[in-house]
Structure 1
Amino acid sequence: MIDENGREVGGYGLLSRYRGELMGIAMLYVMLFHAYELNDTFLPFKAFRSMGFAGVDIFLVLSGMGICCSLARREQESYGRYLGRRLRRLLPAFWLVVGIYSVALAAAGRVTPDVIFWNLSTLSYWLNVPEGFNWYISAILVFYLAAPFYFKLFRRCAHKEWLTLFIYLISYLLYRVTWGAGLLYLPDFLLRIPDFAMGFLVGSYVMEGKKLNARHLAVWVTSAVLALAVVAGWLVQPVIFPLILAVVVGVMPVCLLLGRVLHWYPGRWVPAFLRMVGGSSLEIYLLNVVITREFDLLAPWLDHDPRHIGFYLIAYTFNIALGVLLHRVLERLMRRFAS
C-alpha cells in the first residue's frame, strides 16, 4: 500500500499515521457510552452503546504506542524531563476542570471539602473516596509513571510477544485476587494494564517497520475469536469472564480494522474532525465526566424529550467545542510559560 508521497504504508503503520483520528473515534465512543440516560429502544444500537467503554482501551493502546516511540527517540532523556512533559499535558487541564467542579460541589454541600484534595491529588480512585471524580486520570497517571521502567524491560526482552502475553496473565490474576478481596473498583484499571503493554508491542512493530503478514493476521483473528468466546463466558460467569476482558483481548483487531477504514475513506472533513477531537480528547473527556454527572441539573434546561436525544445533541456539541477551546488556550499558555 503506497501513500501520496510514494511511501509504503499499511498494517501497523496505519495506526501511527491515523493515531489522532483513532483517538477521536475512541473519545466519541466513550461519550456515547456516557450517555446513560439516552432512552434508545433499538436493541443493536443499545448493545453498541453499552460497549462504549472500549474507547478507553483503544486510547490506552494508542497512548502506549506513542510513549514507546517517544521513549525510543529520546533514550538519553532523564526521567524527570520525561515526566515533566507528560504532567504538563495532563495536570493543568485536570486541575482546572476538576478543581473548579470539586470546589463548586463543596460549596453546594454535595461533597465534603476534603474531597477537593483527594480529587486534585488523583488519589480518590485508589482510596475509593465517595464522590471521587473519575478513575481514568488516576490510572493513566500510573501508566505514565511506570512507562520508562517498563520500556527498559521491554527493550531488553528478546521475546517481546511473550512478555506482552505475560502481562495479560498477570493482569487477570491481579483482577481475581482483588475481586476476591472485595476491591471491586479496581478492575477498571487492572484489566486495562495489557492495553498499555500491547501499545508498546505495536509501537515496536511501527518503529521496526514490521509487516502485517499472514502469521500476524492469524494471531489477530484468533484474538477476535477469543474475545467472542469471553463474551459467551460472560453471559454465564460474569466474574470469571468480565466483559472488559473481552475488549482487552479483541482491541487490536478493532484498531487495525479502523486504521484500514480511515485509510480507505475518501473524504477530508470527517478525518479532520476526528483529529480535532483526538487532539483535545483530555479536555473533552474531563468536561464530559462533569456533564454525565450533572445530568439531573442540566437536562431540564436543555430538553424535555423523554428519550433525551436533544439533551445529548446540545450538551455534547457544547462539550466538544468547549473542550477544543480549552485545549488550545491551555496549549498557548503552556508554550508561553515554557518560552
Structure 2
Amino acid sequence: MQGRIDVVDGLRGVAIAAVVFHHLFARGIGDLGLLGGWLLGNGWLGVDLFFVLSGFVLSLPYARGLPPGTRAFYARRVRRLAPLFYVVAAVSTAVTVLICGAPVDRGLLFQTAALLSGLFTFHPATFMPQANWVLWSLGVEFVFSALFPLLVRRPARLPQLTAAAVLLCPFVRAAGYALGERQYLDWISAGPAGRLDEFLLGMLVAQLYAQGRLPRSPRLAAATGLIMLLCAGLLFHLWAGGLFPRFVAAAFISLAALGFALILAAALVSRGRLRRALVWPPLQALGVACYSIYVWHGILLLGLFGTRDFDRIPVWSPLLFPYLAMLALVSWASFRFVEGILVRPSSAPREAATG
C-alpha cells in the first residue's frame, strides 16, 4: 500500500474549498465587477483540478511498476466510489421529494434510474441529476475509471496519447459550447469526452514523476501554471459577459488544465513555500475528506436554502454559518462511517482519488 502524498491532499483541499466557495456566493461576488468576477468567480475550476489529480493518483502505481491488475483495479474503484455515491444518491432523492416537493412522476423516475445506473452523464436531461446536480463530476469519474485500464496499457505511448487529447478535446468542448446555452457546463463539453485531456495530463505528470523527469525549477513551473490559471479565469469572465463566441471557451479549459498540471508538477518537487502552503493542516484536512464534502455540500444547500440556484445565496445570509457547521459535521460523519467502514483500508490505496 502506498502512502499519501501530502501536497496532493493539499491541492485537493484547495479544489474543494474553491468549489464550495463558488457554489455559495460566486455570482454575488461577481457582481462587484471585473476584479471580483475574475479572481473570485471561477472556483468551479476546482472540479477540473480534481480530474487532473485523479489521473495522477490512479496511474502512479503503474508508473512505479506496481500495477494492481485489471480485476483488482475495478474492485478497488467500486469500493472507493460506489458506497458513498449511492448513500448520497438515496438521501438526495429523498430530500428532493420530501423537502423540496419535487413530484414523483416519470421525469423523476427517469432521473433516478439514470443516476443509479452511473451513466447519467450521457444524456442532456440527466447530466446534472435533479436530486443532486454536483454529482455530474462523479459520473465523469466513473467513465474515466472504466476506461483507465485501456489508457494505461501502453505507458510508452502516454505522451502521444496526451498530446492527441490536448489537441482534440477542445473540439469536443467547442461543439458543446456552440450547441448549448452560454454556461460553464453541459453534457458534451463537461462530459467524459470533453474532459479526457485533464485526466491524461494527470497521468502524464505521474509518469514523469515516477521517472524523476519533472521540472527542477518548481518556482518557474508554479508561476507559469498560476499565470495560465489567471488568464483562463479572466477569459472565462469576459466570455460569460458575451465578449467571445460560445465555442472559444473550449480553449480556456485547455489553458486551465495545463496550468493545473504545471502546478501539480511543481508541488511534487517543491521544498519551499508552495509545499509549506499545501501541507497546512486545515488544508490537509479538507483534502483528505474532500470526497465527502463534495457530495454533501450541494444537497445541504438545497435542503437549507430551498433553491437549486446555489450561487445566488447572499453572503450575509444568517444560514451561512449553520450551513458550514452542518457541512463539517455531515462530512466528518460520512468520511468516518461510510468511507471509513465500507472502504476496506487493506484493499484501497491511500492515494486513491477522492472523486
Q: TM-score range by the shorter chain?
A: 0.7 to 0.9
Q: 2:329 matched to which residue of 1? A: 321
Q: 1:137 matched to which residue of 2? A: 138
The residue identity in structure 1 corresponding to 2:57 is G
Q: 1:206 matched to which residue of 2? A: 209
- Aligned residue pairs: how many? 314
After alignment, is 68-77 or 192-201 more displaced? 68-77
CA shift for structure 1 position 331: 3.4
CA distance in 1, matches of 2:163, 2:147: 18
CA distance in 2, matches of 1:278, 1:91: 19
Residue 227 of structure 1 contacts residue 250 of structure 1 at CA under 8 Å; is this kept in 2? no
What is the CA deviation profile of residues 139-186 of structure 1, one whole-angstrom value per residue up to 9, with x for unaligned ones? 011111111111113x132xx444322111121122234555659432
2:156 equivalent to 1:156:
yes
Q: 1:298–1:321: structure 2 CA closer, same or farther, 3 Å change rule? A: farther
The residue identity in structure 2 corresponding to 1:287 is W
2:275 equivalent to 1:263:
yes
Give runs of aligned pairs for residues 214-229 of structure 1, distance below 5 A.
217=220, 221=224, 224=227, 228=231
Q: 2:188 matched to which residue of 1? A: 186
Residue 60 of structure 1 contacts residue 196 of structure 1 at CA under 8 Å; is this kept in 2? yes
Partner SS, residue 263 of structure 1: helix
2:119 equivalent to 1:118:
no
Aligned-residue CA RMSD (Å): 3.7
Partner SS, residue 39 of structure 2: helix
Q: 1:28 matched to which residue of 2? A: 17
Q: 2:353 matched to which residue of 1? A: none
After alignment, is 61-70 or 208-217 more displaced? 208-217
Residue 99 of structure 1 contacts residue 120 of structure 1 at CA under 8 Å; is this kept in 2? no
Q: Pick from 169, 172, 176: which aligns with 1:171?
A: 169
CA distance in 2, matches of 1:338, 1:60: 25
The residue identity in structure 2 corresponding to 1:329 is F
What is the CA deviation profile of residues 10-36 of structure 1, one whole-angstrom value per residue up to 9, with x for unaligned ones? xxxxx9441111111111111111114
CA shift for structure 1 position 96: 0.4
CA shift for structure 1 position 105: 2.4
After alignment, is 230-239 or 200-209 more displaced? 230-239
Partner SS, residue 132 of structure 2: coil
Residue 69 of structure 1 contacts residue 203 of structure 1 at CA under 8 Å; is this kept in 2? yes
TM-score, length-normalised on structure 2? 0.74
What is the CA deviation profile of residues 278-324 of structure 1, one whole-angstrom value per residue up to 9, with x for unaligned ones? 1111111111121344453289xxxxx95435433331232133212
2:237 equivalent to 1:237:
no
CA distance in 2, matches of 1:328, 1:222: 34
CA distance in 1, matches of 2:283, 2:55: 20
Residue 301 of structure 2 contacts residue 323 of structure 2 at CA under 8 Å; is this kept in 1? no
CA distance in 2, matches of 1:137, 1:85: 16
CA distance in 2, matches of 1:114, 1:238: 30
What is the CA deviation profile of residues 222-244 of structure 1, one whole-angstrom value per residue up to 9, with x for unaligned ones? 99459738955844334223443
Residue 170 of structure 2 contacts residue 194 of structure 2 at CA under 8 Å; is this kept in 1? yes
The residue identity in structure 1 corresponding to 2:153 is K
CA distance in 1, matches of 2:296, 2:75: 24
CA shift for structure 1 position 220: 7.9
CA distance in 2, matches of 1:306, 1:329: 32
2:313 equivalent to 1:278:
no
CA distance in 2, matches of 1:97, 1:161: 37
The residue identity in structure 2 corresponding to 1:31 is V
Residue 106 of structure 1 contacts residue 113 of structure 1 at CA under 8 Å; is this kept in 2? no
Partner SS, residue 129 of structure 1: coil
Q: 1:45–1:225: structure 2 CA closer, same or farther, 3 Å change rule? A: closer
TM-score, length-normalised on structure 1? 0.77
Partner SS, residue 144 of structure 1: helix
Q: 1:152–1:194: structure 2 CA closer, same or farther, 3 Å change rule? A: same
Residue 287 of structure 1 contacts residue 323 of structure 1 at CA under 8 Å; is this kept in 2? yes
Q: 2:306 matched to which residue of 1? A: 297
After alignment, is 28-37 or 286-295 more displaced? 286-295
Residue 103 of structure 1 contacts residue 116 of structure 1 at CA under 8 Å; is this kept in 2? no
The residue identity in structure 2 corresponding to 1:203 is A
Residue 60 of structure 2 contacts residue 207 of structure 2 at CA under 8 Å; is this kept in 1? yes
